[in-house]
Structure 1
Amino acid sequence: MLSAVSIFLSVFQLINASPAIFSVYDDLLAFPKYEIVISETYISNTEASALLSQASPLTLPQSSKPSESTTSFSDQTDEPISSNSDSHVSYELIYFHQEPYLCKIPLLETPLRNETLEQETRTAERQELARATVRGWELLQELEDECLYFISGWWSYSFCHNSEVTQFHQLAPQPGIRGPPKRDPSTKQFVLGRATTQNNDRAISWKKGNRNAEMNTRNSAPRMELQAKGGTRYLVQRLEGGTICDLTGKPRKIEVQFHCSPTATDRIGYIKEVVTCSYLMAIYTPRLCDDVAFLPPKENKAHTITCHTVLPDKDLAKMVELQATGTQLGAESPEAETVEPPKIVGGIVLGAGKWINVDSERMPIPDDFSDEFSQQDDAIVEIIARAKSKTEGGQVEVATEADLKKLDLDPEMIETLRKEVQKLANEKGWKIEIIDAPGQTRKILGIVDGNDDDEEGTGEKNEDVSTKDEL
């Protein structure tokens, strides 16, 4: 009797602990899990030496008791460094950034291996999974005479439990009329798979009122199996005997997966064609959640390794006093609100709520922009046009067409640039320069004289409009 109870408890823990399911994404060497927590409390050098001198084994001796490896140590971070459970911990001194830390490592018991019990547990596990498969099928019978629909672009899909899965084009929805999508009779419908049982390989038409077919199918076991992937269990039903595929010449088939979803109603999660005329459909239903075997996996909490800063005995009391004083001051004085400085990009304050239009100021030109090439010894700077301000007479001087051609410049382009610069300068003085520097692209700069008496006081000395000569 005791052996039967032990097997039952082992199977229940196996079914209830979903993280035990193998997954290709699991790191086999990452269990048991640990996390390191740096405590805010301190420990004296004397106490740390006393704890380290204790002979704590690295591993506990094997025990016939059930493993306590699932116990969470996350709530022990605030307990004293030494406690009554020292027989289940080990202490290690580590250095981090040249600072000593005493770490308290929990020791996990290794259960005594019992091959007979393991064999009995595996047998009981297979029986439990078979029971869960049958129980899951019974829970899904609540979907009887119901159809689920899924729309994906041009195609619509219907899943009728214990009947078939179809693919069709729906009629255009009518305004004010709600309901499932209806098939367009002028288009062709494709059956992706029909339900079959082990006792009856032909499709059974499920219609309301057909009591005999209903009773026969309830008594026959379905073609359904339980699978596990990524820490979760789900039921799989494979439907075959669909419409003949034009590309393969074989009937279409589909795999339907039933997943537990506690917060959702019955719905089709997705459907996709994995290979030509072979499909996969996932259905999320809360009905399977009534069986513990299909519940989502529980979080696997890590065991906590708590580390305390080691201080000399003479500094410990002072550090504790400073920590208490800082906590008291923090409780008495409100936290100073930190005001983030405004972000300015191109002379514009981001988030200021102001409109920037064509009449707004241009970005200030750096003072050394025009001297970028002129500071080089080999740079050649020539002025091809200039004009004085209106207060100085407004006289305009422009290089002749022959001079421009000698410089390999297009006179029409220079004339267009002159008009733009003159329009931009308004009543100010301006000039157009050509800068040739070895290894650099020749540039033509239009420079407008600055106005130090600007009302907004921007302090700009000049404003440049530059263009590149592509010739």
Structure 2
Amino acid sequence: MATATRRGRSPLSTERVTKVASFIILLFLFYLSLADEIIASTSGLTFGQSSRDPNYNVEFHSAKSPFHPDEGQDSTMMSNKEGKNFMCFLPIVEETKPVKQISQQNSSSIIVETDRKTKLKTPDELLDVLKDKCLYRHEGWWSYEFCHLKHLRQLHLEDDKAVQEFYLGMFDSEETTAFNQNHSEDSLLKDPRSKHASQRYHAHKYTNGTVCDLTNHPRETEVRFVCSETTVVISSIKEIWTCKYVVTVQYPLLCKHPMFRQEKAMSHTIHCNEMLGDNNLRLSVVEDESYVRVL
């Protein structure tokens, strides 16, 4: 019997053993048929269910150049269909509290503590750079002009001249203030339609646009500023209801505000050393709170 080494560490929780062991099993089912090629480059792929879940990388090491584990690092023996054995060392993962369990009040307290020595700029102060500037986006027949704190315009150009245009809204400071005050923390607003649901945004309201032929009401738009490490750009324009629009603007400076930084998944590596010798081990994962073993 070969048993995963514990090396004096406290017992693992059932949740952690099950999760990490499951990752190993899935990874081996995918990898071991290609293990010989992978060993040559000691490389692997990354596995993670979502952008917020931890990513698990697998690296294979030949017997001539093995991975040297840290003190207290758990390990388990694995074998492929040809009977080749690998000793895999599980990453040391510290228990962390899920982000969703951190209250909004606690998050704000953390920010205050972090920025005790410097005054934290508000989202609107960070947006001051856009004052008197316009952004443009072209989508087929239509072009869009967004002038910060002024207007959003939809137009068709011919020979660089606007031959058809609609105003999708004029900046409404009162509506913007009222909208943000109705939320306890405007920086925690999330886009329910976004593929990245955890991405926060700061919103401005644009109202009193060109009257819509279908509703007989003025067009209106919600402009959402999001943290992005790329350049300033209008990333999307969507008509979510008849003559009601949502415009998303990627804005790098917004990333300076802690509440807008996108949550990045943690990355962990499972190192697997090629083993020489006995080729007759049978894999058996035991869901026990203290170890994973091979019979």
TM-score by length of 1: 0.38
1:110 and 1:287 mapped to 2: Cα distance? 32
Out of 233, 244, 257, the residue aligned to residue 224 of structure 2 is 257
How far off is 1:153 after superposition? 3.0
Preserved contact between residue 209 and residue 219 of structure 2 (Cα < 8 Å): yes
Paired residue for 1:449?
none
2:172 to 174, 196, 203: 196
Change (3 A) 1:241 1:78: farther
Provide the residue aligned with 2:206 in structure 1. 239
Q: Is the 8 A contact 2:78 2:86 kept in 1?
A: yes
**Distance in 2, Cα, partners of 1:295 & 1:122:** 15
Instruction: Check if 1:281 corresponds to 2:266.
Output: no
Contact 2:206–2:222 (CA<8 Å) still a contact in 1? yes
- Cα-to-partner distance string for 1:377-435 (whole Å, 9 max, x where unaligned): xxxxxxxxxxxxxxxxxxxxxxxxxxxxxxxxxxxxxxxxxxxxxxxxxxxxxxxxxxx
Partner of 2:250, secondary structure, is strand
1:311 CA drift (Å): 1.9
Q: Secondary structure at the match of 2:169?
A: strand
Alignment-derived partner of residue 77 in structure 2 = 93
Measured in 2, the distance between the counterparts of 1:79 and 1:146 equals 54
* 1:222–1:284 distance in 2 versus 1, CA, 3 Å: farther
Instruction: Indicate how the Cα distance of structure 1 residues 32 and 261 shifts in structure 2: closer, same or farther if over 3 A, else same.
Output: closer
1:130-279 to 2 correspondences below 5 Å: 135-173=122-160, 182-184=161-163, 187=164, 189-197=165-173, 200-201=174-175, 221=177, 223-224=179-180, 225-226=186-187, 227-228=189-190, 230=196, 231-264=198-231, 266-279=232-245
Counterpart for residue 123 of structure 1:
105
- Gap change, CA 1:192 and 1:302, over 3 Å in 2: same
Q: How much has 1:280 moved relative to structure 2? A: 2.3
Instruction: Report how far residue 27 of structure 1 moved.
Output: 4.0
Label 1:144 to 1:169 Cα distance change in 2 as closer, same or farther (>3 A): same
2:169 and 2:229 mapped to 1: Cα distance?
28
Encode CA deviations 1:346-395: one digit per residue, 9 max, x unaligned. Answer: xxxxxxxxxxxxxxxxxxxxxxxxxxxxxxxxxxxxxxxxxxxxxxxxxx
Unaligned runs of 5+ in 2: 1-47, 181-185, 279-295
Going from structure 1 to structure 2, the CA distance change for 1:126 and 1:271 (only over 3 Å counts) comes to same
Percent identity reads 26
- Offset from partner CA, 1:257-292 (integer Å, 9 cap, x none): 22334342x332332323321222222233323334
| TM-score using structure 2 length | 0.57
> Using the alignment, how far apart are the partners of 1:128 and 1:194 within structure 2?
36
- In structure 1, how many angstroms separate the alpha carbons of the residues matched to 2:212 and 2:121? 33
Shift of residue 306, structure 1, vs aligned partner: 2.4
Between structures 1 and 2, the one with greater strand share = 2
Larger Rg: 1 or 2? 1
Cα distance in structure 2, aligned partners of 1:140 and 1:152: 25
Structure 1 runs not aligned, ≥5 long: 1-25, 43-76, 174-181, 202-219, 313-471
Seen in structure 2, the aligned counterparts of structure 1 residues 133 and 168 have a Cα distance that, compared at 3 Å, is: farther
Assess if the C-alpha contact under 8 Å between 1:268 and 1:283 holds in 2: yes
Letter in 2 for 1:41: A
Letter in 2 for 1:36: V
Change in Cα spacing, 1:92 to 1:261, as seen in structure 2 (3 Å) is: closer
1:128 Cα deviation after fit: 6.6
Q: Do the aligned residues in 1 keep the contact of 2:233 with 2:249 (CA within 8 Å)?
A: yes
Aligned length: 210
Q: Which structure's relative contact order is higher, taking Cα pairs within 8 Å and 6+ residues apart?
A: 2
Alpha-carbon displacement from aligned partner over 1:78-101 (angstroms, at most 9, x marks no partner): 5435x5x0x2x2232222122232
